[in-house]
């Protein structure tokens, strides 16, 4: 499968190094290896969601209870979660760490991904959510650590966009 197993491992290791103990996820193609790694890790609480917005609530609960968490989803899941992000994570000052697979960018071959790909960064801007892209494996650990630091210092959501160059082996 052209989803990068090597880079998925780099991302998973970086999540562990940040102390993430609970991972909420709605699986999609680019995230299959990450979900498998979490399933096989007895130290990780993996919560498989029915819809991504649930993960905003679950991460809020985990944070209030003192457990570091992340929400892993496709950019269309981000679009489906906006009210939860605004009315829970932002309103209640929750340091929500989101890892978002950025489908529909340059190189995308599936027509149905292209609309979401075109609006993702504009939506993050409109929501005033700080984000960075992850395009190479070298960027993963430092940017994830910095994103978590900013989320916890600001008590606000932050996003990391998992890009095609990192996730997909063309």
Partner 1 sequence: MPRMLRIDALRAIYPELSQCVVVTNMGAAPAELFSLGHQPGFFYLWHSMGLASSVGLGIALSRPEQQVVVIDGDGSLLMNLGSLTTLARYRPANLIHIVFDNEVLLSVGRSFTTATATGTDLAAMAAAAGVPRTATCHTEDELRRAFGEALAAHELSTLVAKVEPVGPPGYFIDLHFLESRFQFQRHLRRPAAGEGGQD
Which positions lie near partner 1, rule CB under 8 A?
22, 45, 47-51, 53-67, 69, 83-84, 87-88, 91-93
Q: Which is nearer to partner 1, 58 or 73 (CB)?
A: 58
| Nearest distance from C-beta of residue 108 to partner 1, angstroms | 27
Q: Which is nearer to partner 1, 25 or 140 (CB)?
A: 25
Q: Which is nearer to partner 1, 15 or 166 (CB)?
A: 15
Residue 152, burial from CB neighbour count under 10 angstroms (0-12, 13-18, 19+): middle
The pair of three-digit structure tokens given for residue 115, joined into one six-digit string: 């609309």
The pair of three-digit structure tokens given for residue 61, joined into one six-digit string: 């609960």
Q: Which is nearer to partner 1, 53 or 148 (CB)?
A: 53
Q: d(Cα 88, Cα 82) in Å, to the nearest integer?
A: 10
| Nearest distance from C-beta of residue 169 to partner 1, angstroms | 32
| Nearest distance from C-beta of residue 152 to partner 1, angstroms | 13
| Nearest distance from C-beta of residue 54 to partner 1, angstroms | 4
DSSP 111-140: GGGHHHHHHHHHHHHHTT--EEEE-SHHHH
Q: d(Cα 112, Cα 11) in Å, to the nearest integer?
A: 26
The pair of three-digit structure tokens given for residue 159, joined into one six-digit string: 């996003």
Q: Which is nearer to partner 1, 45 or 141 (CB)?
A: 45
| Nearest distance from C-beta of residue 129 to partner 1, angstroms | 17
User: 46-67: b or e for each residue (b if 16 or more CB lie within 10 Å)?
Assistant: ebebeebbbbbbbbbebbeeee
């Amino acid at each position: 499968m052209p989803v990068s197993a090597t880079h998925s491992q780099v991302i998973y290791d970086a999540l562990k190094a940040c102390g993430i103990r609970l991972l909420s996820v709605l699986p999609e193609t680019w995230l299959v290896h990450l979900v498998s790694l979490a399933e096989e890790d007895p130290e990780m609480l993996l919560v498989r969601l029915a819809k991504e917005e649930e993960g905003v609530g679950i991460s809020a609960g985990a944070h209030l209870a003192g457990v570091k968490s992340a929400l892993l989803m496709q950019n269309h899941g981000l679009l489906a979660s906006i009210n939860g992000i605004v009315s829970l994570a932002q309103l209640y000052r929750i340091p929500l760490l989101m890892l978002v697979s950025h489908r529909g960018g340059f190189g995308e071959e599936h027509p149905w991904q292209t609309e979401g790909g075109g609006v993702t960064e504009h939506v993050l801007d409109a929501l005033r959510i700080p984000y960075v892209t992850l395009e190479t494996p070298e960027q993963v650990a430092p940017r994830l650590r910095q994103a978590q630091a900013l989320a916890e210092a600001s008590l606000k959501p932050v996003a990391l966009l998992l890009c095609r160059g990192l996730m997909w082996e063309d």
